Chain A
């Protein structure tokens, strides 16, 4: 105290709690709903819109809806409500198409294995290589033998009998699993130093991306048989699978290329300076970062692929939407299109929303950037 020349001791100020109106329910309401007159107006307007739309919807879908009975008589008694009896009676077909009833446990088991694997990858064991490896290699093989049968004492179920959600899932999951590696290879090829590889990839990507999926499928169903020797048939489902896979792969390639370009040049140099060759550099350093960057776009492609599978009706497959469409044309159920399509929309939404949540989860799991 007495020695004025002594150095001033710096004591940091301790942190203070934030002011009360920043926290709690009131704080949240003020910050999010009534933050200024314009936002308050929007909030009131939105509430009014909800008031206009929600009650009629609830009354149609639940209060006045018919759930019981086995035919249209009950439904006709309540014309202002939805006829869920129609969906109930057709539910088996919506899920399995014409898959024999005694064998329907097979698609169910396949679905459960797939679901378990997906949940495991996303929530529990992210980064566990054996699970990812199983989902990418073992699962498709098991799924094929389970669904198609003909081996191990399982009766053969020809693909013509597959339908409904089963076909939708088979086409989309195969498309997703197969287009991913093909897309990565195309993206790497497009950035390759080798002119032939590069041009081949560019041509493939640009041609396939320039054509609508519907014409790819149409070509697969109409044109392909023209080039094949007489009498040789080519499975309809396989045609759709190849078409959808190649189509998605072209999009995937561009998404992955975007990711590759977003990885800083320093990462390539850092890897090269350590003596890593091209493939090791790509697999260990570049792709893990590039793919993580484009997870939202990858999932975007997958969601759009999932919905595009409805186009496989072009090659004569009965996917879930086609089954519903055909059912609404059934003389016994004419007039219930609304219920059919609402239900279809709901099913698609559930799957797409699940994909989006799973991807968010994976993104969080893989985030090591520790940005503040």
Chain B
């Protein structure tokens, strides 16, 4: 046991043990336990208010947990600001509303963190940014401002911006929920190709097609708890709990 432990924790990208969180009196996360292996792709679903966003936001400390332990890439999250910044450098996040910086061009959005957080020379940062903008297939928009782009393009820029920090883990918080229906596919395609390259991903999403296609594991949450988790085929065809069945019957028409 004792010898095996460092080996497992080395393979673990994220480990949550007995994580609890309250907003004032409201108990949002209740004894959440989750281990994510390196290279694993996890889709988290559940009704609104189930704590799924809160859970992944705890992983890069956008939310603070009050009880339990979170270890990300071998570093335990505490209130130590240095460690938080260290973890945030390695964990990329894509938000529902993109959160691009409107006063900077697409290229500047992408080079900002490599330059000011990693201390990379501007030229190198721009090279890397262009590489990732090509990967998300919008290099021609590099000198535009986010406000000039469509929602789908903005979200792809947001993905490229995260990738520029060469993160070990990517968190996606409902990345397609704010998009017009015609633009969902282009963002999902980008995420699929990212998954194919072996990125460790945690995605909060209701795109069940995406879950079937790329997830190693689907997690269903309700009322701050993980109700059920399974590999996607089993999860969709043979849900164990009646709460999961009800949820699936409501979102899969």
Binding site for B on A (CB under 8 A): 264, 266-267, 269-277, 280, 284-285, 288-289, 292, 366, 368-371
B148 adjacent to A266 (CB under 8 Å) = no
Chain A CB within 8 A of B195 CB:
no
Closest to A273 in B: B93
* B95 and A284 within 8 A (CB): no
A289 to B145, alpha carbons, bound, how many Å?
14
Chain A binding surface, main DSSP class: helix
Q: Which residues from B are CB-within-8-Å of A371? A: 147
Report the minimal beta-carbon distance from A366 to chain B, rounded to whole angstroms: 7
B interface, CB within 8 angstroms of A? 60, 62, 81, 85, 88-89, 91-93, 95, 97-104, 112-113, 116-117, 145, 147-148, 161-162, 165
Do the beta carbons of A369 and B100 come within 8 Å of each other? no
Report whether B103 and A276 are in contact in the complex, using a CB–CB cutoff of 8 Å: no
Partner of A276, one of B102, B116, B148: B116
Chain A residues within an 8 Å CB radius of B92: 273
Across the interface, do B117 and A368 meet the contact criterion of CB distance under 8 Å? Answer: no
Cα(A274)–Cα(B129), bound, Å? 14
Q: How far is it, in angstroms, between the C-alpha of A270 and the C-alpha of B93 when the chains are bound?
A: 8
Q: Residue on B with the closest CB to A286?
A: B101
A-B contact pairs, 9 of them (CB 8 A): A267-B101, A270-B99, A272-B62, A274-B162, A276-B112, A276-B113, A285-B112, A289-B101, A289-B102
Query: Which of A272, A274, A275, A368 interacts with B103 by CB under 8 Å?
Result: A368
Whether the Cβ atoms of A275 and B85 lie closer than 8 Å is: yes
The docked-state distance in angstroms from the alpha carbon of A368 to that of B113 is: 20
Given contacts A273-B162, A289-B102, A368-B103, 5 further A-B contacts (CB under 8 A): A266-B95, A266-B97, A270-B100, A275-B113, A277-B85
Point out the residues of chain B lying under 8 angstroms from A271, CB to CB: 101
Among B81, B91, B101, point to the contact of A270 (Cβ < 8 A): B101
Residue of A264, A270, A277, A289 with most partner-chain B CB within 10 A: A270
Contact B88–A272 (Cβ < 8 Å): yes
Alpha-carbon gap, A338 to B81, bound state (A): 64
Give A207 to B245 CA distance when docked, in angstroms. Answer: 61
- Cα distance A285–B113 in the bound complex, in angstroms: 11
Q: Are B148 and A275 in contact (CB under 8 A)?
A: no
CB pair A289 B117 closer than 8 Å: no
Considering only CB atoms, which chain A residue lies closest to B62 in the complex? Answer: A269
Cβ of A343 to closest chain B Cβ, rounded Å: 42
- Complex Cα distance, B89 from A272, in Å, reads 10
Evaluate contact between B112 and A284: CB separation under 8 angstroms: yes
Question: In the complex, how many angstroms separate the beta carbon of B81 from the nearest chain A beta carbon?
Answer: 8
A292 touches B100 (CB 8 A): no
Q: Which of B93, B99, B100, B148 has the most CB of A within 10 A?
A: B99
**A293 → chain B closest CB, angstroms:** 10
Q: Flag if A274 contacts B113 (CB, 8 Å).
A: yes
The residue in chain A whose Cβ has the minimal distance to the Cβ of B117 is: A275
Closest to B118 in A: A275
**Minimum C-beta distance from A55 to chain B (A):** 50
The docked-state distance in angstroms from the alpha carbon of A288 to that of B117 is 18
Given known pairs A273-B93, A277-B85, A289-B103, the reply for A370 and B113 (CB within 8 Å) is no
Say whether B165 contacts A275, CB under 8 Å.
yes
Complexed CA–CA distance, A276 and B101 (Å): 13
